[in-house]
Amino acid sequence: MRPDPNDTQAAWRTFSAAAQPALDRWQAALEAPAATQERVLARLLADNRESAFGRAHGFARIAGPAQFRERVPVHSHAGLLPWIDRALRESQPVLTVQPPRFFERTSGNGAQQKLIPYTPDFLGAMQRALTIWLADLYRQLPEIGAGRAYWSMSPPLQAPCHAPNGIPIGSASDLDYLAGSPVAGLAPTLVVPPLANDASAWRRQTLLALLAADDLAFVSVWSPTFLTSLLRPLFDAGDPAHAGTLAWLDTALPAPRQAALRRALAAGTCDALWPRLAAVSCWMDGPSQTYAAHLRERFPHVRWLPKGLFATEGVVSLPFGHGEGCPLAIESHFLEFLLDDGSVCDAAALRPGDTAQVILTTGGGLYRYALEDRVRVTALAGRTPRIGFVGRAGAHSDLAGEKLDEDTLGAVLAATVDARDHACLVPCASAEPPHYVLLVASAGQRDAEALRASVEAALTRSFHYAHARRLCQLGPLRVRLLAGPPARLADALQQAAEQTGIRAGDVKPRILINRLATANALLALTDA
Per-residue pLDDT reduced to its tens digit, 230-265: 898 899 888 788 999 999 999 999 999 999 999 999
Q: How many CB atoms lie within 10 A of CB 45?
A: 24
CA 206 to chain centre: 19
- Output 526 or 178, whichever has higher pLDDT: 526
* pLDDT for 111 beyond 50: no
pLDDT at 172: 65
* Half-sphere exposure of residue 75: CA atoms within 13 angstroms, side-chain side: 20
pTM of the model: 0.80
> Percent of the chain, pLDDT > 70?
93
Q: How many CB atoms lie within 10 A of CB 17?
A: 11
- Identify the helix (H) or strand (E) that includes residue 396: strand 396-397
User: Nearest 5 degrees, angle CA 347-CA 345-CA 407?
Assistant: 90
Q: How far apart are alpha carbons 448 and 479 in whole angstroms?
A: 6
Q: How far apart are alpha carbons 278 and 275 in whole angstroms?
A: 8
Give the tens place of pLDDT for each residue, 267-296: 999 999 999 999 999 988 877 787 788 889
Q: Tell me what the mean pLDDT of segment 204-213 comes to.
A: 92
pLDDT at 155: 61
Q: How far apart are alpha carbons 134 and 30 in whole angstroms?
A: 17
Give the tens place of pLDDT for each residue, 402-446: 878 887 888 899 999 998 888 999 999 888 788 999 999 988 889
Give the tens place of pLDDT for each residue, 500-511: 877 776 777 788
Which of these, 230, 335, 216, 327, lies nearest to 280 by C-alpha position?
216
Please, what sign has the CA dihedral across residues 57, 93, 366, 184?
Answer: negative
CA distances from 10 to 2, 13, 17, 19, 178 (A): 15, 5, 11, 14, 19
Which of these, 423, 357, 360, lies nearest to 395 by C-alpha position?
357
Give the tens place of pLDDT for each residue, 314-353: 999 999 998 899 999 999 999 999 998 889 999 999 999 9
Q: Tell me what the mean pLDDT of segment 347-365 comes to.
A: 96
391 φ/ψ angles, rounded to the nearest 5 degrees = 165, -175
* pLDDT for 397 beyond 90: no
Which of these, 347, 357, 312, 314, lies nearest to 29 by C-alpha position?
347
CA 386 to chain centre: 18
Residue 431, C-beta contacts closer than 8 angstroms, at least 6 positions apart:
475
